[in-house]
Amino acid sequence: MKTKPLLLLSILVLFFSCEKEPFELSIPITKIDTNSELFINLKQLSITQTNDSDVVCLTFIYPFNVYLYDNEGQITEAVIVNENTEFISLLNQATDDNTIGISYPINGTTESGNTISINGNKALKEAIEACIDDQIINYCNTLLEEENCVWKIKSKTENMLYNSSLMDFYDDGTGIFYHKGDAYRTSWISLFIEDQLHINIHLEGDSEVAKDWNFDWIASIVNDNTIQIENDEQLYYIKSNCKIENNCGYVEFRECATDDYEKALYVFDDYIDCITSFKKEEEITNVELSFFENIIDAEQELNKLETDGYSNKVNPQVIFVQTKDTVTLDSEITRIVLYAEPCNSED
């Protein structure tokens, strides 16, 4: 999976500098301590803006003046910075007991094109933190929505019930929760609550599985492949598996939904090669696949489904596949999930 930076941050700062008299104090200067959270965030977003070409949140526009103070509160230098690397170099020069100064108001343009006016350190801090929150949410969503990736669940407590379960998140805020052969339609959203990332998960229905997972989970991004979620006494790692060449790698087949957005037409004949591709070549020479709506029919080989066109009864729907060796008559039953998803008319 393509590595993504943890925070894609930038800020648009536009204010007028006094180029002729850099030590002129006729305009108000506001100090920022170099050991403050605001200074740290300014430095981080400047570094990130330099490392990333994506323009998000807010972006610096140069030139502007930065005033440097000594530990006695006296201005030692006023520097006109002309581009981002100069600003980073200047921030790196400041020691832990120094301060820098800038002049307000600062006008900013958000990613959506709206203009905002920042009139002090508090407002600047809030604007940067809001940008950071937005980018963490966007980063979280990007991870969860990665195509051909599913999320394996691993408990970090004694509860191992869901260690073989999977979650698949779609970019429209829906998804599928797979557990012991059943599939549960899911909705989800990531959000910030009091400076903490959350992932709100909701499984449809009133099953015990839904009761165990329908929570506003506190989330922490461990790395590009792992997210920690916790609620009450439950703590899970969900880890992405993106080494899937096709949907049947995790036994799910998607087709475009019809007008009612709940049903689609599935041609099982089109899935046979995909399903058997996970077997060794010598195992598929005499293989025969049959499809059934429930496990009892699959075991007794009753009510075989037509393979040239099947319309699902619910969405998503679990279908049982019997794979039989026509020579030895050995067979096994696996499950696939049918999911009808909305598609653009031009797709």
pLDDT tens figures, 178-187: 887 677 888 9
Selected residue with higher pLDDT from 108 and 29: 29
pTM (global) more than 0.85: no
Mean pLDDT calculated for residue range 13-31 = 48
Range picked from 70-74, 75-79, 155-159, 343-347 for highest mean pLDDT:
155-159
pLDDT score at 295: 86
Share of the chain above pLDDT 70, in %: 74
pLDDT score at 156: 92
The model's pLDDT over 185-228, given as tens digits with 9 standing for 90+, comes to 889 999 888 778 999 999 988 999 999 999 999 999 999 899 99
Range picked from 73-77, 233-237, 250-254 for highest mean pLDDT:
233-237
pLDDT score at 226: 94
pLDDT score at 78: 80
Residues 6+ positions from 264 with CB-CB distance below 8 Å: 255, 256, 257, 258, 311, 312, 338, 340, 341
Selected residue with higher pLDDT from 46 and 16: 46
Q: How far apart are CA 241 and CA 225, in angstroms?
A: 8
Mean pLDDT calculated for residue range 319-345 = 81
Contact 80, 149 (CB under 8 A): no
Can you give the chain as a three-state secondary structure string?
CCCCCCCCCCCCCECCCCCCCCCCCCCCCEEEECCCHHHHHHHHHHHHHHHCCCCCCCCCCCCEEEEEECCCCCEEEEEEECCHHHHHHHHHHCCCCCEEEECCCEEEECCCCCEEEECCHHHHHHHHHHHHHHHHHHHHHHHHCCCCCEEEEEECCCCCCCCCCEEEECCCCEEEEEECCEEEEEEEEEEEECCEEEEEEEECCCCHHHHHHCEEEEEEEEECCEEEEEECCEEEEEEEECCCCCHHHHCEEEEECCCCCCCCEECHHHHHHHHHCCCCHHHCCCEEEEEECCHHHHHHCCCCCCCCCEECCCCCEEEEEEEEECCCCCEEEEEEEEEEECCCCCC
Q: Binning pLDDT at 50, 70 and 90, where does residue 174 land?
A: confident
Mean pLDDT calculated for residue range 65-90 = 77
Q: Binning pLDDT at 50, 70 and 90, where does residue 46 land?
A: low
Please check the confidence at residue 18 and state whether its pLDDT lies above 50. Answer: no
Average pLDDT across the chain, whole number: 76
Range picked from 8-12, 35-39, 103-107, 229-233 for highest mean pLDDT:
229-233
Contact 189, 200 (CB under 8 A): yes
Q: Is the link from the previous residue into 316 a cis peptide, with omega within 30 of 0?
A: yes
Mean pLDDT calculated for residue range 262-267 = 89
Please check the confidence at residue 163 and state whether its pLDDT lies above 80. Answer: yes
pLDDT score at 279: 53
Q: How far apart are CA 268 and CA 305, in angstroms?
A: 9
Side-chain half-sphere exposure of 51, counting CA atoms within 13 A: 13
- CA 246, 248, 251: angle at the middle one, nearest 5? 145
Which amino acid makes up residue 133?
D
pLDDT score at 245: 47
Contact 116, 50 (CB under 8 A): no
Selected residue with higher pLDDT from 334 and 234: 234
Selected residue with higher pLDDT from 39 and 298: 298
Q: How far apart are CA 153 and CA 17, in angstroms?
A: 54
